[in-house]
Amino acid sequence: MYGVEVSIKTGAIHFGVSDQNDLSGVTWRRGTGYAIDELTNVLTADDAKARLVIEQLRRIVPNAKSMKALGFCVSVKHAQFMAKHFHAAGINATAVSAESTTEERADALHRLRSGAIQAVFSVDLFNEGIDIPSVDTLILLRPTESPIVFLQQLGRGLRKEQGKSTCTVLDFVAQHRREFRFDKRLGALIPGGRKRLIEQIEQGFPYLPSGCDMQLDMVAKERILASLRSSVPNQWRQKVAEARRVKESGNELSLRVFLEESGIALEEIYSDDHCWSKLIEDAGLPTLPAGPHESTLRKAIGRMLHINDVDRPTTCLTLLKPNAWTDLGRKSLKERRCAHMLTAVMLEKVTPQPETVEQSLRLLHDHPQVVSELMELLDLLKERVDHLQAELQSHPEAPLLVHARYSRREILASLSDGSSYRLPLWFEGVRWIPQENVDLLASTFDKSGNRFSPTTRYRDYAVSRSAVHWESQSTTRSTSETGLRYQEHESRGSTVLLFARLSPDERAFWLLGPGRYQSHTGDRPMAIHWKLDVDLPGDLFAAFAAAVS
């Protein structure tokens, strides 16, 4: 198994609650955020601020006097301020920090577990490394934009314990400076850039990790949306100006540095067929010599953004080293197929098409600026593994991992002979690859748009984390060769690989892994129940199960 995954072990209900704090006048320092002393002064300025937190807590939490809560504060003074006001309101609480002794911290947690107190307020103390399963309420009073800290804080309340079914999260949303980045922290739960995040907020968060629910009050929602829309340059000329600014600040300009300094999401660099090379070129910065298909290949780079497996970026980086194409024939079939996957995407629009994979890799190397950008991009994509991934046991020489994403051309290339470049066309949802003895079933689960006719609007969805309901093409009979191959695949020694995406707007499909025939109903189409060899992650199950709800 490979990779990482946000682990939601118990349910979480996240409430974004507006508060009356205006942080727009607090000093902001690039790299560290708000000045802590000034922030503390604002948050502890009067008793009304603490009363508002208590009022919202009592409104949302059924019985505040029986809860076990952790509160995350910005400073020792802030933690003590909140503990004092909770105690005065009849909710037993204490404050601890790095200044507290080990015995004091241990005693605070013991009293929280036993119910002697209902809340512990802390400063950067319980973000990580402490397992407190009994915590059922989180009070987020520290305005962090770090996705790591945000997930660490959530993790303190998402541990299972008998009798605990959910964790309530109160996230207080102030009026922030323009520099504050909501997309960084919320992107930990909803990846894909600001555009997708804005859509999810506007639609009420339809796709969150399984077991999570997020609600924003009207003021908090408008504050977050306004911040998302204004905090980062979104027009191309603004991005170009930002590239000049980052360069003039003395930084060595790279794609990674630019993303960190500007706050622009990776997806936003590649919108509208743009790319990093064009951005630095438009900023008046030098680029490497252009190749014969420079414009076509630059437009293709953005088609690599879906890559999220742990193996392929590293292999591709090796293939992009100088003269790597010269010894391609001596590499393993898996490596040659990986090269084919890379060039199948990058050279898809090039004419005439190369004849061999070796020729395709050499042609790619004829574009040094494109290769340079690809290497920068792949280095970033290595860090975007977002699910646990498993080896594809049925085809160990195919560079595919279960629960990673692949386009149709990449799927075909992953099962090719690793020598011939040309790939067959694949527009439909099914493909039989006789030389590999495998059926490829690629489904779009949400067919609610107008891109599907009534005859192609098959009902495909996740039944459970280990089972998928799938409908064949409308012409497939259960007694046909194809229908029998689906039913008898195990006895015939063939494999069925299931791929799925949520909507046709997504270029890539998630590899759900091999499926085993269980049963079917009907004819033309056949409605087949497939059992998965590897269970779906919680978030994919939630999305794919909801597609037909």
List the domain boundaries for the chain: 11-230, 233-287, 289-399, 427-546
Q: Residue 33, by phi and psi: left (phi above 0), alpha (psi -120 to 50) or beta?
A: left
Q: Which residues of the chain have pLDDT under 50?
A: 1-10, 127-129, 449-457, 549
CATH assignment of 11-230, given 3.30.70.20, 3.40.50.300, 3.40.50.720, 3.30.1330.10? Answer: 3.40.50.300
Q: What pLDDT is stored for residue 514 in this prediction?
A: 98
Q: What pLDDT is stored for residue 30 in this prediction?
A: 75
| Cα dihedral sign, 471-473-479-483 | negative
Task: Give the CATH number of domain 427-546.
Answer: 2.30.280
pLDDT digit string, tens, across residues 368-426? 999 999 999 999 999 988 888 999 999 999 999 999 999 999 999 999 999 999 999 89
DSSP string, 127-146: SSS---TT--EEEE-S----
Helices and strands in the chain: count of H runs, count of E runs: 21, 19
Q: What pLDDT is stored for residue 289 in this prediction?
A: 96
Nearest CA among 110, 71, 77 for reference residue 91: 71
Four-point Cα dihedral 157, 159, 160, 165, nearest 10:
20
Q: What pLDDT is stored for residue 451 in this prediction?
A: 46
Q: How far is CA 164 from CA 171, 309, 346, in A?
A: 20, 34, 50
Q: What pLDDT is stored for residue 434 in this prediction?
A: 95
Q: Report the alpha-carbon distance of residue 204 to residue 297 in Å, rounded.
A: 38
Q: What pLDDT is stored for residue 516 in this prediction?
A: 98
Angle at 453 between CA 451 and CA 456, to 5 degrees: 100
